[in-house]
Structure 1
């Protein structure tokens, strides 16, 4: 098996979960038809498992805030046309019972419950998870990385919860190969690794960062916390000991029995999203053709 991303053994399939359901609609209007029609540009073993996100003013939102202006029906129609599952990022960690009646968030649930490939919701709050399971049973649930479960035993316990179809571990567990390899097959199928986190592995305030975002989405006072990671740089993420690159996926994770990988990127520019797609999904010798198809032409000036 080649470490450059060229081959996956047997019938292995890798499912990438991409950001920007509401932010990058214009990008996906160009990219998704390209991915469907020019498969020779991309690795044959990869597909798009879902596109995730939330509107900018979403009360239940978490992880990021202030991004996402696309219309919900239009966002659903776009992914439906390509048979891709949409996921609502409902990972607010500070929800209270009075927030469950929010009209906009409930309307989003009704809309995305109709997804032809099955709609999902990424959740942090157990209160919200119970509410969604009761009110919108057609939405599958994903346990959010915002829970910051850094102990493997806690992560494994989360995997064993029957209400979750997928669990995204804290990125600092990405290289816990001994414990990961010992998981039974049915639990490996539920693991969805966060590949390209830029936050330092030494960060002790990651949960506080997510709580700050949750407060903002609730319209509450900002506590002034700012992420220690600073401006996102893919090159810096690649130097992290927790980074999972395409060679790692093909050479290590797929042979161990894992197939789901999440790419972060909400709140970044679509040019950075394209770089993620080039790295993870595109054959190196066809990357220029993908750039040309998406944006590059002979009249383009950078400055």
Structure 2
């Protein structure tokens, strides 16, 4: 089996992928042969149907589509807003994006989705997509996960990261169910968070233009921001050893890397860690941004 990574920043990190993807293609020996790019996901910053993150992503959709098609990569629109109503379905920009990205010359494209209302609308109007059940549903119950996996609407389901290490339960899934599971690897959110769903709902309302107060995070380390080193200590973290020695032998092959609201420097660190052989990590850094006169301060 091969690992397929679903990477962040379709619109948010266009300039980064414009540099990284040629390296990935032309120097495949730099990267582990047991992994590949399954898709790149994201949404424009002002996207009404967007959810999970808000205000990021300003790349030209035409250029984004052209780049991804040049490298035969599946594009996923992140339309995971959980608070949509009927009147939001006619949004011109989101419908234009759906029409544009449905018509692809290469791989089939997908939509990451939360709202069943939006799901039924897109299925009827833009039947060319596959669908991913969003982690914003916060599926922490294993039975709820199983029900979602059994829905024919979805090709992939992203469970809450707190199910990542429930190996006894995960091993009981059928092969067809395992093929649909897409684990969120590098979540830094507080493992004991009881407010995660409300946090996503708050972001969804902001995407809809509603003036709501910021969600108050309950994490004890909320002021530190995202740190990959902290994510690695999260009980739900999935590292490359876990993938190779546990998940792949169990029959799981799809893994999602979060980070659309982060800087592209940390995105590079994700790709170095998850995809790049240690002996070539410096070479990839040099190709992307290092030069002999670079000063950090």
TM-score, with structure 2 as normaliser: 0.97
Q: Does 1:277 align with 2:268?
A: no
Residue number in structure 1 paired with 2:53 = 64
Does the 8 Å contact 1:199/1:228 carry over to 2? no
Residue number in structure 2 paired with 1:97 = 86
> Which of 253, 260, 270 matches 1:259?
253
Residues of 1 paired with 2:236 and 2:203: CA distance? Answer: 23
Q: How far does the alpha carbon of each residue in 1:146-201 deviate from its partner, in whole angstroms, 9 at most, with x for none? A: 00111000011000000001000000000010111110101100000000000011
> Which of 230, 233, 250 matches 2:227?
233
Structure 1: segments with no counterpart, 5+ residues: 1-11
Deviation at 1:269, TM superposition (A): 0.3
Deviation at 1:73, TM superposition (A): 1.1
Residues of 2 paired with 1:228 and 1:278: CA distance? Answer: 31
Alignment RMSD:
0.8
Structure 2: segments with no counterpart, 5+ residues: none
Residues of 2 paired with 1:98 and 1:140: CA distance? Answer: 24
Q: Does 1:217 align with 2:211?
A: no
Deviation at 1:280, TM superposition (A): 0.3
Residues of 1 paired with 2:30 and 2:140: CA distance? Answer: 37
> Which of 239, 245, 258 matches 2:239?
245
Which runs of 4 or more aligned residues in structure 1 lie more than 2 Å from their structure 2 counterparts after TM superposition? Answer: 226-230
Deviation at 1:226, TM superposition (A): 3.3
Residue number in structure 1 paired with 2:161 = 171
User: Helix, strand or coil: the match of 1:202?
Assistant: coil
Deviation at 1:47, TM superposition (A): 0.5
Paired residues for 1:1-303 under 5 Å: 12-115=1-104, 116-229=106-219, 230=222, 231-303=225-297
